[in-house]
Structures are given as structure tokens and as C-alpha cells.
Amino acid sequence: MDFKLRYFRYPWAIYRRYRGLLKSQWHSPEQLAEIQASGLRSLVNHCYRDIPYYRRLFEGLGLTPDDIRGPEDLPKLPLLTKQEVRDNSGALLAPEMKKYHPVLMRTGGTTGTALQFYVDRFANMMEFATVWRHWGWAGYRFGDRFCDLRGRIIKTAGPWSYDARLNALFLSSYRLTRELVPEYARKLRRFKPRILRGYPSAINFFAQLLREAGIDDIRPRAVVTSSETLLAHQRQNLEEVFGCRVFDTYGLEERCCAAGQCPEGGFHIDSEYGILGVVDGAGRPVAPGEEGEIVATGLATRVMPFLNYRTNDLARLSTRRCSCGRGLPLIESITGRVEDMVVTPDGRSVSGAGLSVALKYSPGIRLSQILQDTVEEMTVRIVRAPGYGEDDEKKLLINLRDRVGEAIKIRLDYVDDIGLTAAGKLKFVISKPGRVRA
């Protein structure tokens, strides 16, 4: 999500939503639960009345809108998968879709299968206001300078572009090289962004290159990460190199749910935006603290609403109340994606977030990636930084064995570079057995 001018067509509507979010974040959990339940009832009535797919679904299950009164009733509905969205894209659209000012969106997906869907101006305005609140938790005020480092195609002659309307400097993860680091550093010293925002893998790679170049004076107020799972060793590296806090955020292009970290470190679910639940492999809600897949329901979307939507993202919910005083519920952790799991011969599934911890004890690793084609073997691709030696390799293997056991073969593959995805991201784990389980 960018602060894009195309959303400024409704500036006062966005501002009203933002001001409302600033107020509602301090509501009690009970008040927020009622806001969420009311939004869900309105959405379900719309789906039953106006969306052919849901009308058929409800009638086939013998349900009416009165049967879905709150989030606790959503398990009465089956999970909506990406494949079902592809197969029923027409039936999921509101018949009078033009009145919602729809925007066609596309995601490539981590499995390489594209997904197309529509979002409307109501969902985009809520997304804008919610991201604005997240950035505000990191110290951003609208109009402050920010630097964006993601999978952007830079069409100018130089390695960056500047948008004066947004007061934003855009760097591309596609162009990050050791040779350009001093030039990037000079530009950032002059620009002095308040926020450095981007993919965790891209910003972490940039931080590694800065560290190797001995550059330690790039000091934004905060780093804001999004679009990938932020791994523990990445957070540690970013905080050390940039000397500031890292605020992680979570969201979906499908506009189904969102979450972000507050100044106290709590990862808050945006209750006003959508419903975020966690379920097991059979679609049953799991207890707080247990890992499961995120299923989401966006409360603002009307042109193509998704109820009980499977995200393939893994998380654990929390029952504690954040010390910041906000009533918004908490995610204990986001641990990766369903298909980003190493599957071992003895039947275990180990997340990328868990495996990443093994890397923080080997500072000589610039970039790494785990590939798994079969259950019997995994390959760790490594781009070495200066100073990488035998001790780094020994520590890495010991720490990996602690997590995946002895049954699986581990092969180390030293490479000069690791390719990015089409979106400019670096996938840490690519596992065919994990994808089958998904």
C-alpha cells in the first residue's frame, strides 16, 4: 500500500476514517468486538442480498444472514480458497459493481499462480487510513519524508526516483548492489527520511551492504516492514545498522485484514478493518498460542467480498492486553506461510521463521535461502560476506540440526547471488513438500 494520489479523490472521507481509527484504537475490547460484529452483520446481509456466490452458498447450507451474527459464527461457512476465487470470480462480484468504483488487482502469489480480484473505494480508503495509523505508531506524520525500498521498477536513468507530491524517495530492490551502496548512502544522508519502509529481505540486504561498507550514519526515525515475514535475525540486524526501532506490519492486497506493531511492540489486529482468525488444517479455530493458518474477512469491501478467506499465512493469536493501553487484540507472532515449511522425513514441519534463528549466529552470511525439492534433502544457498569462515559453517550446521533433526540431508551451496521473485522479494524458504501440504 502506497499513499497514492488516486486515493486523494476522497481526502475528507479518508481523513474521517483516520480520525475515527485514532479514537477507536483506545476503545475497550468489548466495544471493538461490537464494532466488528456490527460490520460483519452488514457485510453478510450485503453478500446474501447482492452477491450470487454467497446467495447460493447460504441456500445450499440452509443458512440465512441471521445465522452469522458475529465472528464466532463464521466457522459455519466453508473456507474460501484462492482457487475458488478463480473459479467463481464472476459470481463473487456485485452485479452493480460500477457504483463501487472497482479497481482490478493482481497478485502473483508465492506459488506462481496469479490471482485477479477487484477492490473498491471503501476498502481502499480504509486501507489508506489503517496504514496511516500504523505509520503513525512508528512516528510518521502525514507529509514527512519517507524512503521506500521494495520491488519497484525505476524508469529514470538513475537508481532511484523521487515523488515530490508524496515527499518520497523510491529505491528498487532489483538494483541493490555493492557498487551502488555509497551512492545510496549519500542520497539518504541528504534526503533524511523519517521512515525507511520496505520488504524485510530488501532492507536487510541493504543493511548488510552498509555494514560491509563501514557506513553507519543512515539514521531514520524508524524502519517499517511489510509484505513478507520479518525474521528474527533480520530485525536484529536492522536495529543494529540503522539504530532505530523496527515496526512490522501485516496486510493483504485482498483487503481482508491488517495488523501492525505499536510503540510497545504489541502486534495489534485492526478490528475495524477486518476479522482475523486462526484455524487448523481442518478449518477449526485453534486456541490462542497455537499455530494455525490465518483466515480473514474484510469488513469494508462490497464489490467482491471475501468471507472466511484462506491466506496461507501462519500465526498465533494472543489473549494478553498490550501495555500500550489499546484495546485492539494482539497477534503473538506471524510465523510464515503454509508453503514455506521445511518438511522432515520424520514428519515434522519447520517454519522459515524458526529456521531463520539458526542464521543469526553466523554473521558472515550476507544472504541465504533454503530450497527443498524432496523430504529427504534440503539445500541452503549462501552468499558469503567478507570474513565468512569454517566457524560460521559449523555453527550454521549445528543450529540447523537443532531445528530439523538428523534424518534430513543438509547441503550447503555457496553462490554469488540469489535471485528475487517477480515482485522484487527474496523468498527465504521454497519447499515443494511444504507446498503439497498447503
Query: What is the domain-level CATH number for residue 345?
Result: 3.30.300.30
Shared-domain flag, residues 10 and 96: yes
Residue 125 lies in a domain: no
The residue segments making up the domain with residue 23 are 5-119+254-324
d(CA 81, CA 358): 33
Residue 301 lies in a domain: yes
Shared-domain flag, residues 145 and 243: yes
Shared-domain flag, residues 268 and 368: no
Residue 334 lies in a domain: no
Give the number of other CB atoms < 10 A from CB of residue 166. Answer: 16
d(CA 137, CA 421): 30
Chain center to CA of 135: 15
pLDDT of residue 47: 97
Residue 124 lies in a domain: no
Say which CATH number the domain at 262 has: 3.40.50.12780
Name the residue among 245, 246, 233, 260 with its Cα closest to residue 322: 260
Give the number of other CB atoms < 10 A from CB of residue 56. Answer: 12
Give the residue from 248, 263, 284 where a domain finishes.
Answer: 248
pLDDT of residue 368: 84
pLDDT by residue, tens only, the chain of 438 residues: 455 545 556 788 889 999 999 999 999 999 999 999 999 999 999 999 999 999 999 999 999 999 999 999 999 999 999 889 988 999 999 999 999 999 998 775 443 345 789 999 999 999 999 999 999 999 999 889 999 987 666 777 777 888 888 899 998 766 677 888 899 999 999 999 999 998 887 788 889 889 989 999 999 999 999 888 888 888 999 999 999 999 999 998 899 999 999 999 999 999 999 999 999 988 899 999 999 999 999 999 999 999 999 988 889 999 999 999 999 999 998 877 655 678 888 777 676 766 776 776 666 787 788 999 999 999 999 988 788 888 888 888 988 888 888 899 999 999 988 876 655 567 788 888 876 544
Q: How many domains does the chain have?
A: 3
Shared-domain flag, residues 318 and 368: no
Shared-domain flag, residues 287 and 377: no
pLDDT of residue 111: 38
d(CA 255, CA 131): 12
HEC secondary structure over the chain:
CCCCHHHHHCHHHHHHHHHHHHHHCCCCHHHHHHHHHHHHHHHHHHHHHHCHHHHHHHHHHCCCHHHCCCHHHHHHCCCECHHHHHHCCCCCCCCCHHHHCCEEEEECCCCCCCEEEEECHHHHHHHHHHHHHHHHHCCCCCCCCEEEEECCCCCCCCCEEEECCCCEEEEEHHHCCCCCHHHHHHHHHHHCCCEEEECHHHHHHHHHHHHHCCCCCCCCCEEEECCCCCCHHHHHHHHHHHCCEEEEEEECCCCCCEEEECCCCCEEECCCCEEEEEECCCCCECCCCCCEEEEEEECCCCCCCCCCEEEEEEEEEECCCCCCCCCCCEEEEEEEECCCEEECCCCCEEEHHHHHHHHCCCCCEEEEEEEEEECCEEEEEEEECCCCCHHHHHHHHHHHHHHHCCCCEEEEEECCCCCCCCCCCCCCEEEHHHHHHC
Residue 376 lies in a domain: yes
Residues 6+ apart with CB under 8 A from 208: 237, 241, 366, 367, 385
Shared-domain flag, residues 354 and 312: no
**Which residue type, as a one-letter code, is found at position 273?**
Y
What is the Cβ-side half-sphere exposure of residue 208, based on CA atoms within 13 angstroms?
A: 25
- The dihedral through the CA atoms of 166, 326, 125, 156 has a sign that is positive
Taking CA atoms, 293 is separated from 55, 77, 225, 286, 377, in Å, by 26, 16, 21, 9, 25
Shared-domain flag, residues 18 and 111: yes
Shared-domain flag, residues 203 and 294: no
Locate cell 456466490: which residue? 53
Residue 331 lies in a domain: no
pLDDT of residue 141: 92
| Dihedrals phi, psi of 250, to nearest 5 degrees | -135, 140
Say which CATH number the domain at 235 has: 3.40.50
Give the residue from 298, 324, 350 where a domain finishes.
Answer: 324
Residue 333 lies in a domain: no
pTM for the whole structure: 0.80
Query: Between vectors from CA 390 to CA 384 and to CA 392, what angle results, nearest 5°?
Result: 60
Shared-domain flag, residues 237 and 177: yes
Residue 393 lies in a domain: yes
Q: Are 377 and 351 in contact (CB under 8 A)?
A: no
Give the residue from 248, 267, 285 where a domain finishes.
Answer: 248
Shared-domain flag, residues 318 and 369: no
Q: Which residues pair with 371 in a beta bridge?
A: 379, 430
Shared-domain flag, residues 151 and 195: yes
Shared-domain flag, residues 409 and 313: no
Cell of 50: 447482492
Taking CA atoms, 365 is separated from 351, 415, 421, in Å, by 20, 11, 20
d(CA 153, CA 168): 15
